[in-house]
Amino acid sequence: KAGVTQTPRYLIKTRGQQVTLSCSPISGHRSVSWYQQTPGQGLQFLFEYFSETQRNKGNFPGRFSGRQFSNSRSEMNVSTLELGDSALYLCASSRTGGSDTEAFFGQGTRLTVV
Amino acid sequence: KNEVEQSPQNLTAQEGEFITINCSYSVGISALHWLQQHPGGGIVSLFMLSSGKKKHGRLIATINIQEKHSSLHITASHPRDSAVYICADGGSQGNLIFGKGTKLSVKP
């Protein structure tokens, strides 16, 4: 059974640009959550999608957005990149979502903004 | 506000030692998660528990709901156990709220 796949693994972008990250969940999982990890703040919740609908959202500016497709694959987009957006972005999938459901994480996309 | 505190932040052990990592949370939860993150970033879910104790190989996780406290124990530690261990609690939106992690280094 294939795990959660995130692409690309590494990305370097310039300030002001935008970026799109992709997450393919485990087959049969309908919930995809996105997290940002930085050395200073640790892991922080960005948003969760379930059956193509954003179900929950963390405390991030509107430059961070996402979507989910009918096959449960999800993308997140960051517009007008800032240096502080440099981070490891992780997605996690689960069957139904919620904090009482086991989450399976991808390897992450390491974004560097220069 | 739900906060998750872990201790210690860093831990160095000799191979074979018994290791304990602690996690305290401030809000009643549906489940507490223990995660392992190796260099390179990938995160693996170790345990999800809402009461009592769970064991998987050399790893044991316990939780005390009344005290809002959980511990992760590693018996007979090995250098391959070197990683960052993160506990996570459920947030009000159903998302996970993470502790800052405990960086474990096991020396041969």
Mean pLDDT value across residues A72-101? 93
How many percent of chain B have pLDDT more than 90? 72
Q: pLDDT (tens digit, 9 = 90+) per residue, A24-73?
A: 999 999 999 999 999 888 999 999 999 999 998 999 999 999 999 999 99
C-alpha to C-alpha distance for B61 and B96, rounded to whole angstroms: 18
Give the per-residue pLDDT at B93: 66
Please say if the pLDDT value at position A23 is more than 80. Answer: yes
DSSP assignment of A32-75, as one string?
A: EEEEEEETTTEEEEEEEEETTEEEEE-S--TTEEEEE-TTS-EE
Confidence of residue B78 (pLDDT cuts 50, 70, 90): very high
Sign of the CA dihedral running B24, B29, A87, B73: positive
Give the per-residue pLDDT at B41: 77
Residue, of B40 and B107, whose pLDDT is higher:
B107
- Best A99, A101, A105, A110 member to test B by mutation, with max B CBs in 10 Å, is A99
Q: pLDDT (tens digit, 9 = 90+) per residue, B41-73?
A: 789 999 998 889 999 999 999 999 889 999 999
Mean pLDDT of chain A: 94
Give the per-residue pLDDT at A96: 84
- Best B32, B38, B43, B89 member to test A by mutation, with max A CBs in 10 Å, is B43
Name the nearest CA neighbour of A35 among A74, A80, A83, A82. A74
Bridge-based pairing of strands B32-37 and B43-49 is: antiparallel
Q: pLDDT (tens digit, 9 = 90+) per residue, A72-82?
A: 999 999 999 99
| Chain A CB contacts of B45 below 8 Å | 102-105
| Chain A CB contacts of B99 below 8 Å | 42
| Chain B CB contacts of A56 below 8 Å | 93-95
B84: nearest CA partner in chain A: A42
Confidence of residue B107 (pLDDT cuts 50, 70, 90): very high
Give the per-residue pLDDT at A37: 95
A95 and chain B in contact, CB less than 8 A? no
A14 and chain B in contact, CB less than 8 A? no
Among the partner-chain residues B86, B90, B101, the one whose CB lies closest to the CB of A99 is: B90
C-alpha distance from A104 to closest chain B C-alpha (Å) = 7
Whether A98 sits inside 8 A of B40 (CB atoms) is: no
